[in-house]
Structure formats: C-alpha cells, structure tokens
Amino acid sequence: MNQYAELTWQGLWKNNPGLVQLLGLCPLLAVTSTLTNALGMSIATIIVMVCSNATVSLIRQWIPKEIRIPIFVMIIAGFVTCVQLLFNAYAYGLYQSLGIFLPLIVTNCIIIGRAEAYASKNSLLPSIYDGFIMGVGFSAVLLLLGAVRELLGQGSLFAGAEILLGDWATSLTIVLVEFDQSFLFIMLPPGAFIALGFILAIKNVLNARVESIIEPPVVVEKPQRARIHKVT
Amino acid sequence: MNNIISKNGLILAGFALVVSAIVALTHQGTKEQIARQETKQLLKILDQVIVKGSYDNELYKHCVTTNSLQFLGSKKNQRAFVALKGNDPVAIAIETIAPNGYNGNINLIVGINAQGIVTGVRTLAHQETPGLGDKIEIVKSDWITSFNNQAVDGHKDVRWQVKKDGGQFDQFTGATITPRAVVQAVKNSVIYFKRNQQRLFSETARCGDQS
C-alpha cells in the first residue's frame, strides 16, 4: 500500500478515532442527538484538524521537543477560536446549533493526538491528508451515531437541517416514522453510550472480515525442511 | 540549562504572540459581520413577538434596561425593546427568565402592547428535555402562540395556569413543569410591564449603539 492508501485505511477503519482510538467521546456523545448536529460538528472538526495538522507540520523544525505540547495546544486553541468567530460571522445557524461544543473542540484529543503522532513527524501534504482523513473517519462515526439516534428517537432524518444549511434544506428532512411520543431515552446521553456500544460491537464483529479483504495476510513461505533420511 | 529554559520560554512567547495576533485579526475582521448577524437574529425574533407595521421606529435600537428578580426572574439587568408609532409607545418586547424550568432557566421574550395584551412570546434559550419540554420552541410546536391576545387580570388571574392546575393553557404529555414555568413567567412579565409602564415608556433608549 502506498502512503495515502495506508493513511486512508488507518483513518477510516483500522485506527478510526471514534471507534478504535476512542478519542473525542465528549462531542461524539453530546452532539449526536440529530443528524444535523452531527454534520455541523463534523464540518467544524475536519476544518480544525486540517488546519492544525498543516500548521504543526510546517513549523515542526522550529519547535523544541520539550515545549511541543504547549505549542500544539496554543495552535489548536487559536484555530478553534478563529473557526468559532468565522462560524459566528458567516454560519450563524451552525454556530447556534453547536453551542458550547464548538469551543470545546479544543479539548478533543484527536486533534492534539494527530498533531503529536503524525504532523510533527511528517511533511506538509501527508499531514494535511492525515488530518482530513482522520476527521472524515471521526465524522463517519458522528454521522452514523446521529442518524441512528435521530431515527430511533424521533423517527426522522435531518430534522432542523434548515437551521444549519439555510432554507433550501427543509426538503432534506425525511420523516420515516411518526411517533406520538419520541423515544426519549435514545436522545439523552445514556442512549448515546448504548448506541455507540452497539456500533463498536458491530465494528469488532466485522473487523476480521474487513481486514482480510483490505490487508491480505502476507503468506509466509515455510522454509523447506531438510529431509532427513533414515540412516540405516 | 538556564540557557535552554530562556530560549524555550522565548520561543513559547513568540508562538503565543503570533497566535494571539491571528486571533485578534480574525476578531477584527469578523466583528462587524457578527454584530450584523446578531442584529438580524434579534430583528427576526422581535418581528415574531410584535407585529411588524404596528410601529415605525428602529425597534432593536430603542431598548431600555429592566431589573426585577420577582417578576423577571433574574437579578441581572435585562433588556426591553420599546416600539413607537410616531412618538407614542405602542408596544414593548421584554426579555425575561423563567427560573423554575425542569432543567434550569428558560429565557423568553414577551411582546406586550400598550393595553397590556400579549402580542407574542418566543423562547430564546432553554435546556428542557428534548422531545418533551422542548415543545416551548416555535419550531417544535405552536403551543407558545397560545399566549397571543391574552390579557392578565392581576396577580390572582386563575386563567394563567396550565389546565392541570385549573387554568387555560395546555400542558404537554409527560411535561407539566416546563409549561407551568413559562406560563408563570409570561404572566409575571405582563404584571411587571403594567406596574412599570410609565417608566419603561418614558425612559430614553440606552443600548441603541451597542446592538
């Protein structure tokens, strides 16, 4: 596998931030009550991850090893603040629907994790790609969880999309089942934990099968044994 | 050793400076747009609680401060927007808090005309249970419009309760505390307005330039 294929494989499945590294559970569990919120969080996280990985990779020669962590934290905090300001200015609906979880992206360990584990050791382009694909892997889990919870909780998909994307998005909302009473449990945090647990379980069940397709086991040739003849 | 520490300190300070500068620049660049967005948001809400066309001043600029723990649910100053037609005050939009929601404060804005009749109520912020208490949002349910055109007849007005308590407002299935808190808060803000009508209508606008 070449470098980018390997990164893709790592980010989306093998080392998925949400399912394997289990990083960033706070936003993962908190904002996934609807698909729309999950989408907003995904966009914000991907932007911050790409920017922070790119910056860290660009300046990695000038960062002394001993103080790299505070510098990473500073860079990430700076980007999150900028993203927050920009969202506030140009995507007000998104800003409102994410609320406190937008500034809390700072505390998402995936971002500093990727800065430390990958971007600080690799050149610009692979680092950007790593940030992007890790963000996409995280987003995939967010969106899946959001879809499952919204579907089970309210019987709809993309409810409130117009707040996030503007008025045209009203048509995105799909109501699949009309409940008299929404299934509250699944929309509250405990439901998020349980739904995530099921997703993790399914991932683990599928793991061996998927890995055998993507990563064909390397056939190790058995060394031929020297034949020992019976000495008579 | 000392040398390394001071060198690292300088590097750290340098980074702090650069990052702060970037944030400051972004802030500078987005400040006006953010203010515009907030005004737009405010206007959108004000339009929902006071009928557009019933006044002719720039409503969001004409605001006075209110403060009443007993009636408006907070020790802090809150805003009220006065609608004028010509030079006569015709209505007011009062920001208020229902402090006794199921899960903390519920921020509301209540539009009241000069006769003390409610012209509209909207929820600004809340943390009520999704699926149950959040029906106080206009996007979830039109319950909040049941306040329109209602008047309050003093403190003991029995109509201003949820049906369960003998009043005229519906409660939600599985959630009585939330609508009860909202009904009470709206009633209190109307009473507050009636008691302070003179002052609220005569006071000069304070927060005009800020928002």
Task: Render pLDDT for B83-134 as a digit per residue (tens, 0 to 9).
Answer: 988 888 899 999 999 999 998 899 999 999 999 899 999 998 888 887 788 8
Closest to B98 measured CA to CA, from B160, B181, B162 = B181
Contact A184 B16 (CB under 8 A): no
CB of B10 within 8 Å of a chain A CB? The answer is no
Show residues of chain A in contact with B19, CB under 8 Å: 74-75, 77-78
Find chain B residues with C-beta within 8 A of A154's C-beta: 131
Residues in chain A: 232
Question: What pLDDT, in 10s, does the model give residues A86-118?
Answer: 988 888 877 877 777 788 888 888 899 999 999
Does the pLDDT at position B1 exceed 80? Answer: no
Number of H helices, E strands in chain A: 10, 2
Among B22, B40, B131, beta carbon nearest to A82 = B22
On whether any CB of chain B is under 8 Å from the CB of A153, the answer is yes
Q: What is the pTM of this model?
A: 0.76
Q: Which residues of B touch A83 (CB under 8 A)?
A: none
Cα A92 to chain center, whole Å?
Answer: 23
- Which residue does chain A place closest to B14, by CA atoms? A71
Measured distance CA(A137)–CA(A17) in Å, rounded: 7
Nearest to A32 by CA among A172, A199, A227: A199
The one-character DSSP state at A179 is -
Evaluate whether A142 touches A28 at the Cβ level (below 8 Å): yes
Spatial contact of A60 and A121, defined as CB atoms under 8 Å apart:
yes
Choose among B78, B92, B190: nearest CA to B124.
B78
Q: Which residues contact B137 (CB under 8 A, 6 or more apart)?
A: B123, B126, B144
Does A206 contact chain B (CB < 8 Å)?
A: no
Q: Chain B closest CA to A104's CA: distance in Å?
A: 17
CB B174, CB A181: distance < 8 Å: yes
Residues B130, A88: C-beta atoms closer than 8 Å: no
Helix pair A68-90, A35-58: axis angle to 10 deg:
130
**Contact (CB, 8 A) for B37 and B27:** no
State how far the Cα of A10 lies from the Cα of A16, in Å rounded to an integer.
7
Q: How far apart are CA A152 and CA A168, in angstroms?
A: 25
Task: Tell whether the model's pLDDT for residue A171 goes beyond 80.
Answer: no
User: Which amino acid appears at position A143 of this protein?
Assistant: L
**Amino acid in position B171:** Q
Indicate the residue of B12, B130, B132 with minimum beta-carbon distance to A70.
B12
> Is residue B210 very low, low, confident or very high in pLDDT (cuts 50, 70, 90)?
very low
Please list every residue in chain B whose beta carbon sits closer than 8 Å to the beta carbon of residue A62: 11
What is the predicted ipTM? 0.74
Q: Which of residues 15-44 of B touch A (CB under 8 A)?
A: 15-16, 19-20, 22-23, 26-27, 30, 33-34, 37, 40-41
Distance CA B49, CA B119 (A): 6
